[in-house]
Amino acid sequence: MVLSVLVAVLAVALGYFILNDVTSGGAAPTIAPIVVEATTTIPVETIPVETTPTTLPYTAFKIQIANASKVAGSAGQLTTELQARGFIVQPALNSSEITPKLNSTVVYFLPGSEEAAAVVASVLGGVATAAMPTPIPTETGGLGEATILILLGTDLAGKPLPAAAAPAAPVATTVAPVGAVTTTTAAG
């Protein structure tokens, strides 16, 4: 008997809540999202280390230039300028027929020639470097003996190279404990 009274009370309460929900339009209550922002600052302590400038000789690798600027003669002009600076540069080519006209010059490299690509990119004024695409974007589809490809864009086509910088003196840096004074002196 107690159980049937309990079931009846529960049924009445449940009916009340259902009826109340139906008469109020059935809209569920809206719950606003809670946004929590956390900012953590991690202190970073730098310790200077000795650095050595790149001394890769210009004759340690070969360069191929392909004209993707569509400016006639510009790849040949760049070839001559780089040869005058001491690089080994193969005769200039055009880019492949499927290569679109480029606005920005890119220095591509074969695996293992990343340092050489960085040297060439620096001489060209800091252009981008990237791994060699497949197929190779030259009119011949190859590089000959080169490991570096300069795909010449309109940004450098027909323009002289930036002035050659004087070789930098090696910098010796003393590593000191954090919080101590660090000194830098030019070697040479």
Binned average pLDDT, 10 residues per bin, the chain of 188 residues: 63 62 55 54 48 73 97 96 96 95 96 96 95 96 96 95 61 42 45
Contact 143, 184 (CB under 8 A): no
d(CA 55, CA 4) in angstroms, rounded, equals 95
pLDDT score, position 86: 95
pLDDT score, position 11: 65
C-alpha 141: how far from chain center: 26
Asked whether the whole model's pTM tops 0.75, one would answer no
CATH code for 58-152?
Answer: 3.30.70
pLDDT score, position 162: 85
Cβ neighbors of 1 (< 8 A, separation 6 or more) are none
Distances in Å between the alpha carbon of 108 and those of 16, 68, 113, 151, 184? 75, 13, 9, 7, 35
